[in-house]
Amino acid sequence: MEVSAEEEINQIEVGKPHVVILGAGASYAAFPNGDKNGMKLPLMNNFVETLGIEGLIERAGIKTTSNNFEDIYSEIHTKPELESLKQELEKEVYNYFQGMELPDEPTIYDHLVLSLRNKDFIATFNWDPFLVQAIRRNGKRFKLPRVLFLHGNVEVGYCKNGHMMGNNGGICHECHQPLTPTNLLYPVAEKNYHLDEFVSRQWATLEDLLKHAFMITIFGYGAPVLDTRAIELLKNAWGKTESRNMEEFEVIDVRNEDDLTSTWSPFIHSHHYQIENSFYNSWIANHPRRTGEAYLNQFMKAMFIENNPLPKDVDFEKLWEWYDKLQDVEDAQKT
């Protein structure tokens, strides 16, 4: 019993979401040498130097042993006398990420969004604009996954009256008020995401989604040790490890497998997980737009499945042609 790539392409059966959680490591993996204009992607432990905000941090005069930016920000946040400096810092961070741009040729971000369907979700911790830019340039032709922004995002604004989220700088379709930019920085040590009306809704949606997902992919998210609130929310959303039944858990990360297993062991149950060190080895890249069907065939029906790897080195014209045949099958099924 084997399922060929051709059979996989022609099969649409799964309505449950595949949920992808993106962290800074995903953007770093996509652009190790920087964005279109060479702007570097910071990680939390080189954030201050990469953004060139050493002077600001020095002026804050805080004594910290940590070089992790989230820790430093949390500390500044506790000091009311540093309020104006805090605002300056927030503006610097916002401007830095807002200036970033996807390169013109297809990137991991394009491959990622093209490889999921509209029933699927990408929840990102990243502030950079790459996910939104990828959705924008591929979304004219394809039905793409929906997105959640767990720490806010420079490309996103939301209606204060709760009607919608959309492009930063846009207008609400309901009440015609300008959309409000999202905050980017949260004092993670205080565990108070719930106080921010935008991100609290994003987290609530994610919590609900995780109850229904057939597969969860964690791509380059390395913060759970520090972000205790995030871990708590994920744990609650997932329920007790021993009470969950079948779903698959995949981690894409360059860190070594032992590190990752210990980080994620509270979530991973039995043998239903795999760890990949490259996006292109992942379930998503090998079963584009059919991750659920491949899951069903391999894990529920116990069949051998052939991979259908996305063409990672072709230009947009060829790439879109390749994905057209997948979407054509989806469109034909909707009657």
Q: Per-residue string for binding with Zn ion, 121-160, x by CB under 5 A?
A: --------------------------------------x-
- Smallest gap from residue 180 Cβ to Zn ion (A): 10
- Smallest gap from residue 148 Cβ to Zn ion (A): 19
Closer residue to Zn ion, CB minimum distance, 52 or 178:
178
**Which residues are CB-neighbours of 176 under 8 A, at least 6 positions away?**
none
Closer residue to Zn ion, CB minimum distance, 159 or 188:
159
Pairing of strands 273-276, 121-124: unpaired
CA atoms of 183 and 197, how far apart (whole Å): 10
Q: Which of residues 157-176 bind Zn ion (CB under 5 A)?
A: 159, 161, 163, 172, 174-175
Closer residue to Zn ion, CB minimum distance, 119 or 163:
163
- Smallest gap from residue 4 Cβ to Zn ion (A): 48
> How many binding residues for Zn ion (CB under 5 A)?
6
**Which residues are CB-neighbours of 46 under 8 A, at least 6 positions away?**
67
Classified as helix, coil or strand, 331 is: helix
Closer residue to Zn ion, CB minimum distance, 109 or 158:
158
- Smallest gap from residue 132 Cβ to Zn ion (A): 20
Among 123, 149, 288, 294, CA closest to 220: 123
CA atoms of 226 and 292, how far apart (whole Å): 32
CA atoms of 48 and 282, how far apart (whole Å): 32
Q: Which of residues 81-110 bind Zn ion (CB under 5 A)?
A: none
Closer residue to Zn ion, CB minimum distance, 164 or 268:
164
- Smallest gap from residue 163 Cβ to Zn ion (A): 3
Q: H/E element holding 215? A: strand 215-219
Structure-token pair, residue 129: 């604009």
**Interface contacts to Zn ion, rule CB under 5 A:** 159, 161, 163, 172, 174-175
